Amino acid sequence: MKPKIVVTRKIPQQALELLERTASLYVWEKEDKVMPRELLLKEIKDAHGLYSMLADRIDTEVMDAAPHLRVISTMAVGYDNIDIAEATKRGIRVGHTPDVLTEATADLAFALLMATARRLGEGMACIKEGKWKNWSPMFMAGQEVYGSTLGIIGMGRIGEGVARRAKAFDMRILYHNRTRRLEAEEKLGAVYCSLEELLDKSDHVVLLTPATKETYYMMGAAQFARMKRTATFINVSRGTNVDEDALYRALVNKEIWAAGLDVFEKEPIPPSHPLLSLDNVVALPHIGSATVQTRLRMAMVAAENVLLGVKGERLRYTANP
Ligand code: DGY
């Protein structure tokens, strides 16, 4: 009998076809929204594999409902939505999709940095609203990117990708990470420093840390207060790494210049959220890895992971410790 895999969202056809060759599938594709919890708990009962998304909360309740589950494969690099310790305790493998999204996400981080520093969102809104009257010396003046100092918090694969782009912009690169990354120091000239020093000295700060207990609200009032008044803050990691109320106050009080945000504590962020009322915020709907090519690669890696897991084999990328 074919193993059963539950897929919590419509995924690219190529990945579906790969799965169908080996497994019988339940695919939630009726609506483009998160698979209803009750349905997940029902369908997972006789499943051997779960192919899930970052918006699915995979916790003890799901694992309790799934006595035959051998593998959870998320179509994402981040896996803070999955109780990894619980899965590991139960011998359930957890797969994720690093590497294949590094360049697309670094591109987006850099694009968001440019858009925020140079006020691209405001510029477009101003034209559409008929507010562009004429050229004037300080009209829409932003902050310089080329030759400025970039602070990268979290120097993993994507951090290095951002640093490579920054090098081409002749930027001075500071970084903070749990451990020193000597290769990034040698290859890219990145300089390791404490978080405090990075915040004090950077013209642009990019946050790229995973979401863990240690990084929860790591950017709060005290951290924003340290940043330069002309600095931009860019978050392409996870919303829970930032105290959004503190960020709002820092932006309103002009303690920092602007923020570019691809992620939020609650996603989707409600349109009435105070952050979205500010001109100096560029907000995006969590699209760090969203290119056609990258999403297809992620879908295929997640498919490979789940198939290896149902066979009891080592995954291509595993998130278990
Ligand atoms: C991930 O893969 O964790 C990203 O946030 C999705 O773009």
Condensed to tens digits (0 to 9), the pLDDT of residues 245-254 reads 999 999 999 9
3-state secondary structure 43-109: HHHHCCEEEECCCCCECHHHHHCCCCCCEEEECCCCCCCECHHHHHHCCCEEECCCCCCHHHHHHHH
Which of these, 116, 59, 126, 114, lies nearest to 86 by C-alpha position?
59
CA dist 22 and 30 (Å) reads 23
State pLDDT tens for residues 173-207.
999 999 999 999 999 999 999 999 999 999 999 99
- Residue 211: CB within 6 Å of ligand 1? no
**C-beta 47 within 6 A of ligand 1:** no
pTM over 0.90: yes
Res 32: pLDDT? 75
The confidence score (pLDDT) of residue 31 equals 74
What residue ranges of the chain have pLDDT lower than 50? none
Distance CA 234, CA 112 (A): 7
The answer to whether the CB of 76 is under 6 A from ligand 1 is: yes
Q: Output the CA 163–ligand 1 centroid distance in Å.
A: 19
Of 181, 107, 88, 193, give the one whose Cα is nearest residue 149. Answer: 193
CA gap 107, 158 in Å, rounded: 9
Question: ipTM of this predicted complex?
Answer: 0.92
Task: Classify domain 102-283 at the CATH topology level.
Answer: Rossmann fold (3.40.50)
Fold matches, 4-100+293-310 and 102-283: yes
Measured between alpha carbons, how far is 115 from 123 in angstroms, rounded to an integer? Answer: 10
> Is 273 an annotated catalytic residue?
no
Ligand 1 atom with minimal separation from the 97 CA? 2
Q: Which residues contact 247 (CB under 8 A, 6 or more apart)?
A: 219, 224, 233, 259, 275
The domain 4-100+293-310 having CATH identifier 3.40.50.720: the answer here is yes
238 included as an active-site residue: yes
Is the distance from the beta carbon of residue 8 to the nearest atom of ligand 1 less than 6 Å? no
pLDDT at 30: 77
Q: Which two tokens stand for residue 47?
A: 């499943």
Domain boundaries, the chain: 4-100+293-310, 102-283
Give how far Cα 104 sits from Cα of 73, 151, 193, 271, 293, Å: 21, 20, 27, 26, 9
Residues in the chain: 321
Q: Is 96 a catalytic residue?
A: no
Strand, coil or helix: 204: strand
Residue closest by Cα to atom 3 of ligand 1: 78
The single residue of 238, 244, 295, 304 carrying the catalytic annotation is 238
- Give residue-wise pLDDT tens across range 269-310: 999 999 999 999 999 999 999 999 999 999 999 999 999 999
